[in-house]
Amino acid sequence: MMLRQVAIAALLALPVAAWAETPNIAPGEWEFVSTTTVSGDMPIPDQTETEQQCITQDDLEDADLGFIEEEEGCELLDQDTNADGISYSMVCRADGGEANIDGDMQFMGERIEGTVDIQTQSPMGELNMQTAIDGERLGDC
């Protein structure tokens, strides 16, 4: 599903301008669970996805570490980054539609919690997606 991919992509990868300080994330093997709820003109069932990822100390110290991916046709409007989290707003335009994306992540050492809210207008109608992300450190990589 295109919109779900946008939600996950919007959360997990654009290089962020250099972090002022290292993010409050413990290196190790992490599990991320995202649950997406869609409301609007077209009914879509809730979807849950689980992913595991190794995050190293080098990843955390790398100035290119980021949690937002700016795809072609998207523009990052606002971003606030600090050791304890990131919040951002962006807009994406493609195929006669527009998506407004607001994201917020909190870094809590061995846990990460966040949300991505996407509001879209497209030829298929209006859709609102809310994705909740929970991350937990499982142990060493």
Q: Which residues contact 73 (CB under 8 A, 6 or more apart)?
A: 92, 93, 94
Q: Which residue has the higher pLDDT, 128 or 17?
A: 128
- pLDDT given at position 135: 92
Mean pLDDT (the chain, rounded)? 79
- pLDDT given at position 41: 73
d(CA 35, CA 8): 10
pLDDT digits 0-9 by tens, 62-71: 654 555 555 6
Q: What are residue 9's phi and psi, to 5 degrees?
A: -60, -40
Confirm if 67 and 87 have CB atoms less than 8 A apart.
no
Total-model pTM: 0.77
